[in-house]
Amino acid sequence: STVNGKVPPIKECPPLPAPPEPQKQLGDVATQAIKEQVEASGESVVVSQAPENKVVSEASGSVLTSKRGTLANLKKARLPKWMQFLEPLVSVIIITNVIEQVLRLEYQGYIQGVSMGLQESGEWPDLEAVFSVTPHIFCLAFLFELGIRLYFLRTKYFYQLASIQWFNMLDFVVTVSTVIDLYIVQLLMEQT
């Protein structure tokens, strides 16, 4: 538009800022950290010169991580192939343990009902023997699973890629406290 018949002068726009440089440093640092952790475990790796900056296992040729590498890829690379079935198996054992605990609580309610005269006896025969054995079976299964993971992952079970594995710590504490409760505290209570 014109002002008083004159065209206003064109103002120069400031130059656009230069585009930010790609953040290669973060990816390189993460890749180097993963490479060092895997090499510390005894496996030989190569960092490819491709743009993805992948860490590749020399033994298996599998890609352990890239710039967007995941902890799951690193774990899979460190555990034997047969252990891929461990996670679903442990999930089934956990669900079975929950069902067993619900049934045990129902059974304890039934026993209380019989002792108070609210129910007739004999509806759940011989379950006392079953419920005295099942905690030991589940405890040993969880202890076996913990032992396998500690054997293969060692300290990486608790601390991996510069972060603490809180759920693994919780799993460890629950399993160890269950062993202490079932095998040490129960023995001490029986002796007194």
Share above pLDDT 70 across residues of the chain, in percent, rounded to a whole number: 61
Q: Which of the listed ranges 4-8, 23-27, 64-68, 178-182 does the model predict with the highest average pLDDT?
A: 178-182
Tell me the average pLDDT across 10-24.
67
Burial of 77 (0-12, 13-18, 19+ CB in 10 A): buried
Angle of helix 71-78 relative to helix 127-153, nearest 10 degrees, comes to: 100
Residues forming beta bridges with residue 164, ordered by sequence position: 159
Q: Radius of gyration (Cα) for the chain, nearest Å?
A: 30
Confidence category of residue 174, pLDDT binned at 50, 70, 90: very high
- Strands 55-57 and 63-65 turn out to be antiparallel
Q: Which helix (H) or strand (E) holds 131?
A: helix 127-153
Distance of CA 19 to the CA centre of its chain: 39
No. of helices (H) and no. of strands (E), the chain: 6, 5
- Strands 159-160 and 55-57 turn out to be unpaired
43 backbone dihedrals φ, ψ, rounded to 5°: -90, 140
Amino acid letter at 93?
I
Average pLDDT in the chain: 75
Cβ neighbours of 136 (radius 10 Å):
11
Give residue 119's pLDDT: 75
Task: State the residue for tokens 């603490």.
Answer: 164
Which of 12-26, 97-111, 149-163 is predicted least confidently?
12-26
Q: What is the pLDDT of residues 109-119, one digit of tens each?
A: 888 888 888 87
Burial of 120 (0-12, 13-18, 19+ CB in 10 A): exposed
Tell me the average pLDDT across 111-130.
81
Tell me the average pLDDT across 135-155.
92
Give this prediction's pTM: 0.55
Model confidence at 46: pLDDT above 90: no
Confidence category of residue 26, pLDDT binned at 50, 70, 90: very low
Q: What is the pLDDT of residues 67-85, one digit of tens each?
A: 444 444 444 445 677 777 8
45 backbone dihedrals φ, ψ, rounded to 5°: -130, 160
Give residue 160's pLDDT: 79
Model confidence at 92: pLDDT above 90: yes
Confidence category of residue 32, pLDDT binned at 50, 70, 90: low
CB 110 within 8 A of CB 119: yes
Residues forming beta bridges with residue 159, ordered by sequence position: 164
Cβ neighbours of 85 (radius 10 Å):
9
Structure tokens of 101?
A: 């605990």
